[in-house]
Amino acid sequence: MPKFSANLSMLFTEHDFLHRFDAAAKAGFEAVEYIGPYDHRVEVIAARLKENRLTQALFNLPPGDWVKGERGIAVLPDRIDEFRRGVDTAITYAKALDCSQVNCLAGIAPAGIERSALETVFVENLRYAAERLKESGIRLLVEPINSRDVPGFFLNTSRQALEIIDRVGADNLFLQYDIYHMQVMEGDLARTIEQNLGRIAHIQIADNPGRNEPGTGEINYPFLFQHLDRIGYSGCVGAEYRPKSGTVEGLEWFREFARKAA
């Protein structure tokens, strides 16, 4: 059965960041993920993981200024040096947190530059990152994001992401498949996951519309969880949604899954 990870950037936000680890473990999660650990000393986060017997499932390469609306810098021609410094920083954290994979957010495409030129920058940055990460035994992921929630985001569909992965040609580069984003952009979820099972290293979930917890929208999550088990998906499933009426109140889907798995 899939192992679930709590996205601490969206869940348990009634607590300060470091206490969200405690809350996630208390709720029954085995792993955690979040935008990035970079605002905290790595030894502090490592201690929280150890105290709560949690696995660090994933975090992003430094994504730029999140508060100002940046969602990655990997396609930005004037930020290449910053991107590469960020790769080194991510490696330091990943090794200390025993995290085997990091995600690269492509970023919002700047106006006035041809897409082909941005794609070249993106591919070269991914090649650099994949090579550096491979030296430490870490996988690199890329994630398509829907154009409604993040207008202008460079990577919007699984096909685009897989074409980029093919062009990079690194054996440690995989797809992060966010079910919510891909329901908005393309649908056909179960078939797409099954056809690309060997290329997907991490899955994230939220329902649509609203990006709330499973069971609040149109996506048939009981079927999809059974499907992931049937096809042998062995990665983590990250709960990356906005709780509709509070985090604990919105975990009935998780408790029901745990009951069936017991």
Structure tokens of 240? Answer: 């990356």
Angle, helix 158-168 to helix 115-134, in steps of 10 degrees: 60
**Parallel, antiparallel, or unpaired for β 173-178 and 55-60?**
unpaired
124 labelled catalytic = no
143 labelled catalytic = yes
Is-contact 60 9, C-beta < 8 A? Answer: no
- Give the closest residue to 143 by CA, choosing from 164, 127, 129: 164
Active-site residue (options: 30, 143, 194, 252): 143
- What element of type H or E holds 178? strand 173-178
C-alpha of 71 from chain center: 13
Active-site residue (options: 218, 240, 249, 256): 240
In this structure, the dihedral spanned by the alpha carbons of residues 1, 244, 15 and 108, taken in order and rounded to 10 degrees, is: 80
Q: What is the DSSP letter of 229?
A: H
Positions marked active-site: 143, 240
